[in-house]
Structure 1
Amino acid sequence: MFKNSYKLLFLFSLMLGTMITISSTTWISAWMGLEINLLSFIPLMSDNKNLMSTESSMKYFLVQAMASSILLFIVIIYMMNSNFYSNFNQNFYFNLLMISTLMMKMGMAPFHFWFPNIIEGLNWINSLILLTWQKIAPLMLLSYMNMNQIIIPMIIISMIISAIGGLNQTSLRKIMVYSSINHMSWMCASMLLNKSIWLNYFIFYSFLSITLIYNFYINKLYYMNQLYSLYNYSMEMKLIFFMNFLSLGGLPPFLGFYPKWMVIELLSNNQLFLISIMVMLTLLTLFFYIRMCYSSFLLNYYEIKWNNMINMNNKHYLYLILSFISIFGLLLMNILYFMF
């Protein structure tokens, strides 16, 4: 009882720190919100029964503390300048350092090296928080910046690393990390011309991540070879499961294609070269999603035929509802649009 109570307290502090950051009017108060968020998440990561989670929490603290120190140093240096508020977003070096620091905090390439190692020691609940909620505050601060052409090389590098890094992975948590880096690149690209579309993209990305991670959580899946012998899953349930992967990758006609559709439409007039590179590199991320589907369906492996019916419970019914929205959401949106 006491253990659950203190976890709820830290979870509330985690949410409070994010709210302080996104509602702040000064960089100092935004930094304070980030620190509250960091110090609240560390106890949630730690688990006395798992030494890897303790190691991950220590690594996460060191990386985030370094990024917070750099951010505070930049803000103090520029506050000492008498023309700080007049050239706040016009200074190239200020923008470059701030963007790099915020990318380090949310684990976006090329500052992502801590991300795969840390998430490997976490359970799926903490991984979901790290992949979704912990990115809200840095993304919101990043949307305040005057990025112009500074972030375009970083977006391309991030897309390349996310595409290549996920090809040789067998850990599902690391695959979700590189998928997250890919989606963060799309969100940053949308910030070039529109400061609000990234929020819509983030909502769709969070929903798709929750759908997949919820299935990993209830079936205790952590590595790719566990997908090949899901004895409790019928072929239909496997098909639904892997269609969720394709939806996360942005393959039409699934729901995951809709946020990419918005960004492509936004950038097709002004950033045609950038969006062309992003679409081509996203096809590589779809490749390692399809590789898992191909291996699980077509490889010859032993399966218990008489135990091929899933034992349905409330957890699986919830998963089916989420999967239905993920798979048929785009079609339902179009039908409702033409009806109303």
Structure 2
Amino acid sequence: MYKTKTLFVSVMMMSTMMVMSSTSWMGMWMGMEMNMMSFIPLIKKKGSKDSSEAMMIYFLTQSVSSSVMMFSIIMMNMYTSSNNMIDSLLISSLMVKMGAAPFHMWIPEIMTKLSWNTCMVLMTWQKMAPLSVMSNIKTSNIMIISMVMSVIVGSMGGLNQTSLKKIMGYSSINHMGWMISLNKIQSNWMMYMLIYSLMIMMTCTIFKKHNMMFINQINNMEMTMTEKMSIITSMLSLGGMPPLIGFLPKWMAIQTMMKMNMNMTLMVMMLFSLITLFFYLRTMSPFMLTQSKINKWNKSKINKKMMIIILMMNFSLPAVSMINML
């Protein structure tokens, strides 16, 4: 079992590297196909109908987007001059692959059927290949529309959710919008992705250790103060609160968009990001209000050193800013 998992994980990582380093469209397409076929077996959980359904949803969405991508590559080779219609088709296929709005519907649906580990991979590693391909295409109106729509859908969709996996799914869609805004600057979107991946890993690790699935479970959670602090800071960091590390990628995106004179688009994105911060706070409010429920003999489910590392990483923004200034 572990040998096959190791094989599929290594193929998944190598295929993403192949897409990112490829210089031809066909090489990129082939890498994405390998990536899809190696991720599908990782979704499977023994004796689970949900995981089988998730595999089917993932396969169908990815294969449709792959066929559209293949069609647009063939059309691109037929036309020597740049064609806006073909570019739009190619961008749309990549948006389906990474779950950006308006092709986002499969992300929250599939997230509820996956384990926390697979959710982590889906929200982080699986977005890297389509984003690197998108950075090779010139900015078009469809990219800007998707950027704004992803931020709006990601913030509004998470408002009425009680499932933590769906909330994280809509949060991922919201962050996709910000990543697309940094897409033209290769190093910047990769920096955003790195920090975002760290935040997702920290948050999902805590959820997994406590087996948290729904908001109402949080009321019954008996956690130590360190655990409570680390989960609150991780969620606020995901929302992009200024003293925390999650504000750094948003700061980079704001500066980039201001340089490109996209002030109106930026204003809309910033306003809708406040809504995401609201549903993170709503998720965390039981933690903040139930300090008196903590038992002194509570045993931490996660290693205390791990908790302190998470807290230090969340509060590392001033240090990172000082390094950048130097």
With the length of structure 1 as denominator, give the TM-score of the two structures: 0.90
User: Which residue of 86, 99, 113 corresponds with 2:105?
Assistant: 113
1:157-177 deviation line (CA, Å, top 9, x unaligned): 111111110001111111111
Match of 1:221 in 2: 212
Q: CA deviation at 1:47?
A: 1.2
Alignment partner, residue 306 of structure 2: 318
Q: Name the SS for the 2:283 alignment partner.
A: helix
Deviates more, 1:216-225 or 1:37-46: 216-225
Aligned partner of 2:8 in structure 1 is 10
Could you tell me which of 275, 293, 318 is aligned with 1:331?
318
Instruction: Report how many aligned residue pairs link the two structures.
Output: 325
Q: What letter is aligned with 1:324?
A: M
Is 1:203 matched with 2:186? no
Are 1:58 and 2:56 counterparts? yes
CA deviation after TM superposition for structure 1 residue 50, in Å: 1.8
- How many angstroms apart in 1 are the aligned matches of 2:208 and 2:290? 25
Match of 1:298 among 271, 277, 289: 289
* Whole-Å separation in 1 of the counterparts to 2:306 and 2:230: 13
Deviation at 1:309, TM superposition (A): 4.0
C-alpha RMSD of the superposition: 1.9
Looking at structure 2, the residues matched to 148 and 74 of structure 1 have their Cα atoms a distance apart, in angstroms, of: 16
Give 1:312 shift.
4.0
Tell me: CA distance 1:152–1:120, structure 2 relative to 1, closer, same or farther (3 Å). same
Aligned equivalents of 1:107, 1:253: Cα separation in 2: 29
Q: Is the 8 A contact 1:13 1:40 kept in 2?
A: yes
Give the one of 126, 136, 145 matched to 1:153.
Answer: 145
**Deviation for aligned residue 1:322:** 2.3
1:262 is the counterpart of 2:252: yes
Tell me the distance in 2 between the aligned counterparts of 1:313 and 1:228.
17
> In structure 1, which of residues 287, 311, 330 is the aligned counterpart of residue 278 of structure 2?
287
Q: 2:232 corresponds to which letter in structure 1? A: F
Contact 1:215–1:319 (Cα < 8 Å) also in 2: no
Between the aligned partners of 2:16 and 2:226, the Cα distance in structure 1 is: 40
Give distance in 1, aligned partners of 2:239 and 2:70.
Answer: 36
Q: Give the alignment partner of residue 163 of structure 1, picking from 155, 165, 177.
A: 155
Which residue of the other structure, out of 36, 39, 43, is the alignment partner of 2:37? 39
CA distance in 2 between counterparts of 1:160 and 1:106 reads 17
Structure 1 pair 336/139, CA: closer, same or farther in 2 (3 Å)?
closer
Unaligned runs of 5+ in 1: none
The answer for the alignment partner of 2:231 in structure 1 is 241
**Shift, 1:234, TM fit:** 2.5
- Residue 80 of structure 1 is matched in structure 2 by 78
Distance 1:337 1:69 in 2: 42
Asked if 1:252 corresponds to 2:250, the answer is no
Structure 1 vs Structure 2: percent identity of aligned residues? 37
CA pair 334-153 structure 1, distance change in 2 beyond 3 A = closer
Answer yes or no: is the 8 Å Cα contact 2:107–2:169 preserved in 1.
yes
Contact 1:13 1:37 in 2 (8 A): yes
After superposition, the C-alpha distances for 1:13-45 in whole angstroms (9 at most, x for unaligned) are: 111111111111111111110111111111110
Provide the rounded CA distance (Å) in 2 between the counterparts of 1:316 and 1:68: 44
How big is each residue's C-alpha offset from its partner over 1:88-110, in whole Å with a ceiling of 9 and x where there is no partner?
xx321112111111010001111
Whole-angstrom distance in 2 between the partners of 1:268 and 1:177: 28
Q: 2:164 aligned with 1:177, yes or no?
A: no
Q: Which of 94, 99, 102 is the aligned partner of 2:86?
A: 94
Tell me, yes or no, if structure 1 residue 122 matches structure 2 residue 110.
no
Q: Secondary structure at the match of 1:229?
A: coil
Determine the C-alpha separation between the residues in 2 that align with 1:292 and 1:314.
20
What letter matches 1:325 in structure 2?
A: M
When the two structures are superposed, what TM-score results if normalisation uses the length of structure 2?
A: 0.94
Once the 2 structures are TM-superposed, how far is the Cα of residue 276 of structure 1 from its aligned partner?
1.0
**Contact 1:214-1:319 at 8 Å conserved across structures:** no
Which sits farther off after the overlay, 21-30 or 310-319?
310-319
Deviations 1:42-89 (A, max 9, x none): 1110112322111101111111111111111111222233x1xxx2xx
Structure 1 window deviating more from structure 2 (166-175 vs 143-152): it is 143-152
The verdict on how the C-alpha distance between 1:72 and 1:279 changes in structure 2, with shifts beyond 3 A counting, is: same
**Larger mean Cα displacement after TM superposition, 196-205 or 317-326:** 317-326
